[in-house]
Structures are given as structure tokens and as C-alpha cells.
Structure 1
Amino acid sequence: MGSTTRPYRGRTAEERRAERRARLLAAALELWGDQGWAAVTMRGVCAHAGLNDRYFYESFADVEQLLLAVYDQALRDLLGYVERVVATAPTPRERIRTGMAVFVHAMASDSRRARIGLAEPAGSPALEQRRRDTYHLFARLARDWLRPADEEAFTVAVLFALGGVGELIINWLGGTLALTPDELADRASGLVLGVIAPYL
């Protein structure tokens, strides 16, 4: 049996690699969320994960690839939850309100999510592009959920609204808006509906 499948302490080499990769992702998420993406270094992440530096390169070509993997994992987690909740809403307006409430509360419950998804990507061209791609992904999902008559105009409106919501959340987390999470979600939902309602 080859070395890639030989068990060691009851686990295969592939399982051990997957565990090390998960530890690197978790360490990078914590460092990035607490200190910013510039604080995420190969040696720092490995030290935080309790791994030898050589294990970094079995999973990631460089730090940027690690950051993108952290971003994508956080996005998958958020999207999975939003889609499950939105699917239960009976009307387009309720889907918007439900989706915005879930999004805002997710950002409010862990400010690291907001730092990773909204503010921090602006410091890296690759991450900034990924954020733009994410906005377009949300626009496509919104089209699927709401079935607008004019998809092009609707997409423009959604992109505009998402940018505004992101800025609202960043300012709220920075302490410049004296709102509860529920109040912020209500305000954001109302503003988004005002922008996209003409296209529903």
C-alpha cells in the first residue's frame, strides 16, 4: 500500500493532510479576523496552528491562496444558511427582509466575518476581486429568488444596494451608528427594498 493511504494512528495520510489544512484555515481565520489580512503570514499561521512550516505548502501555494480559501469557506457557510432561511419566506419582500436579517445578524454575531467579507478585502487586489465576484453571486441568487422582469436593471439595483449595506455594517461595527442588530437589519431591508422594488 502506498504512503498516501497507509494508516498512521488509525488515520490515512489523506485524512492527516485534511486535518492540517483545516487547522491552517482556522488559524488564518482567527488571525485575519482579529488583526487584519496583513497579519496573516506563513510562519504566523503555522505557529498559531501548532504545525511545522513545511506543512503549509502541502495545502497552499502561498499566503494569498490561503486567504482566498478562508474567504471562500466563510462565504460558503454564510450562503448555506441564508439560502435555507430565505427558502422558507413566502413572498419576495419577505425573502428580502429575511435574507437581510440573516446577513446582518451573521455580521453582528462575529465581527471577524464583517472584517473578512466587507472591509479587509480592499487591501488586496485578489481579495477585492473576490469580493466583487461575491456581490455578483448575490445578485444572481437574488434573481433566482425573486424572478424580476428586467434582470439587467435588477442586477444594477442589487449591486448598488449591496454596496450600501456593506458600508452601513462597517460603520455600525465601528460604532458610528447607534442601532441594535434588529434595527440595523430593518433599516437595511427597507433601503434595499426601496432600491429594488421597482424591478420586482
Structure 2
Amino acid sequence: MTTADRRYGGRTVVARKAERRQRFLEAATRIFAERGYVTCSLAEVCAAAGLSKRQFYEEFETREDVLIAAYDRIQDDASTAVAAAAAAHSDPEAAIRAGLAAYLESLSSDPHRAQVALIEVVGVSDRMENHRRERRHAWSVLIETALAGKGFRLRGDAQLTTGLLTGAVNGVAHEWLLLDARPPVGELVDLLTAAAFSLVDQD
């Protein structure tokens, strides 16, 4: 039996490690959103997770590492939801509408996630900015691939056009999430779908 297979309290080492990591990510997402990443200490992250600094350093090297991991989890969940929603429709407009709705619903499902994804990660460091750029490029690939499957292509340079589209989506999403009386998601989807179609051409 390997160390990873050993059980403590009925769970393997791997399962316990995954659970601890999840607790750190959930705690970091919440506390960074509530108190702000810049002013939030590592001790506060550990306290929110109910775990020790020793356990933190078994998963991450720095406070910025857990911010990046939390951001990636938010982005991964959103991209999975968007890809699945778009793939469920053969009609291009329906696919774009479904993808946009899935993205907005993924962010709005938890206000802490929206705060971290749209606010707390901005301007943290050169490393974080480079990572955000990599994630934007990943969105570019996802969007370009999804559109190609529906017989459409982005106008101009794909990364620049996708940057324009994702910037518009995130800007509108941020303003929408801050409103006390939010209009229905459908209204945002209508607005953003029109913007998206102005940036694509049919093959």
C-alpha cells in the first residue's frame, strides 16, 4: 500500500489533501471578496479555511498562489458551462445566447466569485496580469472553436476581437452585478448577443 492509499478517518491521503485544497480555495474566494486581496493576510485565509499555515504551505507557496488557483477554478467552471451550453444548440444565435447566459449565470451564482474574477485579480502583479492574459487567450480558443463549429469566424485578429468581446461581457457583467435592482439576465444576453454578432462573419 502506498502512502497515497493509506486511510485516515476512512479517507485516503489523496482525498484528504484534495479536501484541504478545496477548503483553502473556497475560503480564499470568500475572504478576498469580502475584505479585498490586497489587505487580506495569509493568516486570515487560514483562519477562514479552519486550517493551519503548515497545511497551507503543503498546497501553495504564497498567498498569490491561492488567488491564482481560486481564479482558475472560477474560470474553469465558467468555461465548462459556456462550452456545454453552446454545444447544445446547432443554431449560431441560440448557441451564442446560451453561452452568454451560462457565463453570466456562472458568475452571478456566487457574488464572491464575481468579485474575485472581475476585481480582486486586477493589477495584483506582473505574474497575475500575465496569467489573466493566458486565460483570455484560452477564452479566445474556446470562442473561436465554438463559432467555427457553427459556420462562423471572428473578424480580424482572433485574440484582439475576443479581447473586445470578453471585455464587453465582463464590463457589462460587473455593472449588472453591482446594481441593486438587476434587470433580467435575458436583457443582458440580448445586448451582448447583438454585440457578439457585430464581431463575426459567416464562412
User: TM-score, normalised to structure 2's length?
Assistant: 0.85
**AA of the residue aligned to 2:175:** N
1:23 equivalent in alignment to 2:26: no
In structure 2, the CA distance between the partners of 1:121 and 1:52, relative to structure 1 (3 Å rule), is closer
- Give the 3-state SS of the residue equivalent to 2:89 in structure 1: coil
Determine which structure has the larger strand proportion and give its number: 2
- Give the 3-state SS of the residue equivalent to 2:201 in structure 1: helix
1:136 equivalent in alignment to 2:140: no
Match of 2:37 in 1: 37
Distance across 2 between alignment mates of 1:81 and 1:127:
24
In structure 2, the CA distance between the partners of 1:174 and 1:149, relative to structure 1 (3 Å rule), is closer
Distance across 2 between alignment mates of 1:150 and 1:82:
17
In structure 2, the CA distance between the partners of 1:150 and 1:68, relative to structure 1 (3 Å rule), is closer
Q: Deviations over 1:119-163 (max 9, x none)?
A: 222131233322222221111111111124577534422211211
Distance across 2 between alignment mates of 1:151 and 1:78:
24
* Aligned-pair CA distance for 1:51: 1.4
User: TM-score, normalised to structure 1's length?
Assistant: 0.86
Root mean square deviation, CA, Å: 2.4
**Gaps spanning 5+ residues in structure 1: where?**
none
Conservation of the 8 A alpha-carbon contact between 1:118 and 1:166: yes
In structure 2, the CA distance between the partners of 1:47 and 1:191, relative to structure 1 (3 Å rule), is same
1:191 equivalent in alignment to 2:198: no
1:12 equivalent in alignment to 2:16: no
Distance across 2 between alignment mates of 1:169 and 1:109:
12
**AA of the residue aligned to 1:123:** G
* Aligned-pair CA distance for 1:3: 5.4
Conservation of the 8 A alpha-carbon contact between 2:153 and 2:201: no
Match of 2:75 in 1: 75
Determine which structure has the larger helix proportion and give its number: 1
**AA of the residue aligned to 2:161:** A
Match of 1:96 in 2: 96
Q: Which moved more, 1:50-59 or 1:164-173?
A: 164-173
Distance across 1 between alignment mates of 2:107 and 2:54:
34
